[in-house]
Amino acid sequence: MNYSKNVSRKQLGKRVVILLAIVAVIFGGIGTIIGYSVKNYMTVKYATKSEKDTDEKVSEDFAVYGAYDDRIFTKEVSFDWSTPDVDFKPYEVKWDEKEQEFLFYLCKGYNLDFSLLVATVQTESDFNKSLISSTNDYGLMQINKMNHAELTKILGVTDYLNAEQNMRAGCYILRKLFEKYQSPALVLMAYNMGETGAKRLWNEGIYETDYTRKVFSAQRKLRKAGESK
């Protein structure tokens, strides 16, 4: 039997409309299920990411050097320190308070954390400004001799055993490293072993060393002592 000849146009139209309605309902249901699944996946995904980010922030909270400010230093920070900063309080360590104060203002200018920098000086030289290591690292922040010429060109420092000049060099190096890496642990690794050596370890999945742990431990002790005053 020829079906098309025995069904009226009106009946055929009704059937087409009904068929389209059924298809719309089916695909609408599928779309709702997919949408709900995607929404749940995205919610779980980003909730997990947020929790991870929060955990990382908490774990490194003690090592925060200051809000990242997007500045790129191509020369030394301004030395316009005419207004005394009442927030300065020296740490009770075997280090001259005047030199601590100089470092404090450098940290303010470069947006570096003062406690982290004091801990770095302590770890590097134990506050011995006359120290020259067997690998030709000089002064309080142990500035390696291979970097002297470039730092002299940029900053004008000439005596790396002079406490203030040495800190000027060390703070500039750390600020430039923070501009690249932001994470205190990565910055300290690069400062301690050079960027090439640090990147070699990062490629192996190593993001902390005995050196970074020592600096962070010293920083925690400094902050704890400062809070107990």
User: CATH classification of 62-227, choosing from 1.10.530.10, 1.20.1070.10, 3.30.70.3270, 1.10.760.10?
Assistant: 1.10.530.10
Q: For 135-182, write each residue's pLDDT tens digit.
A: 999 999 999 999 999 999 999 999 999 999 999 999 999 999 999 998
pTM of the predicted model, to two decimals? 0.71
Summary mean pLDDT of the chain? 78
pLDDT at 14: 54
Distance (Å) of CA 25 to CA 30, 31, 38, 176: 9, 10, 20, 60
pLDDT at 11: 54
CA distance 215 to 95: 17
**DSSP-derived secondary structure for 62-125:** GG--S-------SSPPP----S--TT----SSSS-HHHHHHHHHHHHHHT--HHHHHHHHHHHH
- Domain residue ranges in the chain: 3-59, 62-227
pLDDT at 33: 42
Residues 6+ apart with CB under 8 A from 226: 89, 91, 115
Q: For 45-98, write each residue's pLDDT tens digit.
A: 223 333 333 333 334 444 455 456 788 999 999 887 666 656 889 999 999 999
Distance (Å) of CA 43 to CA 29, 37, 127: 21, 10, 50
pLDDT at 2: 36
pLDDT at 15 over 80: no
CA neighbours closer than 13 Å in the CB half-sphere of residue 53: 6
